[in-house]
Structure 1
Amino acid sequence: MVVTPDAFKASLTSAEPPQGVSAPLAALWWAAKGDWNKAHVTVQNKLGTEAAWVHAYLHRLDGREISNAAYWYRRADKPFAKSSSEDEWNQIVAELLAGASG
C-alpha cells in the first residue's frame, strides 16, 4: 500500500491505482490520470465524508454544476475550496493517506 503523497504521485505512471487504496484515493488517482468519468464512477456511490470530499472535488473540477460541488462539500463538512485544483488534490491525497496510515 502507498503511504506517502510522493509515492502516490509516482504510482500515476502505472496503468491501475495502487492495490489496497480506498475508493476515494482511487478516484483521485483516476482524476489525476485525466479520466474524470472513471473517477466519478469509483466514488459516486460510496458513503462517508472522504468520499463526499472527493466527489465535491470532482464536481468542482468538472465546473458545470458548481451547486452540486457545493452540496458535496457540505456533505464532507468541508469549505468550498478556493485553492487551485492541483493544490486541493494534493491536500486531499495527503489527508486521506495520513488517515489510512494512522
Structure 2
Amino acid sequence: MEFDSFLQSVKQQKKPANLSSQLEALWYDGIGNWKKAHDLADGPADQLSARVHAYLHRKEGDQWNADYWYRRSGETRPSCSLQEEWELLVRRILDIQ
C-alpha cells in the first residue's frame, strides 16, 4: 500500500484489510480514535510496536510514559510535530511491508 492510499482511507474512514497491528493503531489514531489505537499498541513487545505506543503517549501528553516507550523502542522522542511523527511512522511501516 502507498502512503497516499493509506491517507485517503483515513480521510474516508474506510479501514483497509490486512493492516499490521502497528499500522492499524495509526489508522485509528488518524481517524481520531486514540483509545482504540492505544488498545492495539498496548500489548506487543517488539520495538516497532513500542515506537507506536510512544507516539500515542506523546500525543496524549503523558511525556514520562512516552519517554519510557521511546526507550523501549530504542529511540528518543523526536522534536518534530505530532503530525510529522505520525506520517513518519506510517511511511516507515509501509516501507517494511
**TM-score after normalising by structure 1:** 0.89
2:13 corresponds in structure 1 to 14
Letter in 2 for 1:71: Y
Residues paired across the two proteins, number: 96
2:36 corresponds in structure 1 to 38
- CA-atom RMSD in angstroms: 0.9
The yes-or-no answer on 1:69 pairing with 2:87 is: no
2:94 corresponds in structure 1 to 97
Percent same amino acid among aligned pairs? Answer: 36
Q: What's the offset of the Cα at 1:82?
A: 0.9
Q: What's the offset of the Cα at 1:42?
A: 1.1
Q: Distance in 2 between matches of 1:67 and 1:14?
A: 31
Q: What's the offset of the Cα at 1:27?
A: 0.4
**TM-score after normalising by structure 2:** 0.94
Segments of 5+ residues of structure 1 without an aligned counterpart are: none
Q: Which has the higher contact order (CA 8 A, sep 6+)?
A: 1
Q: What's the offset of the Cα at 1:84?
A: 0.3
Query: Which aligned runs of 4 or more in structure 1 are off by greater than 2 angstroms?
Result: none
Segments of 5+ residues of structure 2 without an aligned counterpart are: none
Q: What's the offset of the Cα at 1:47?
A: 2.1
Q: Distance in 2 between matches of 1:22 and 1:41?
A: 14
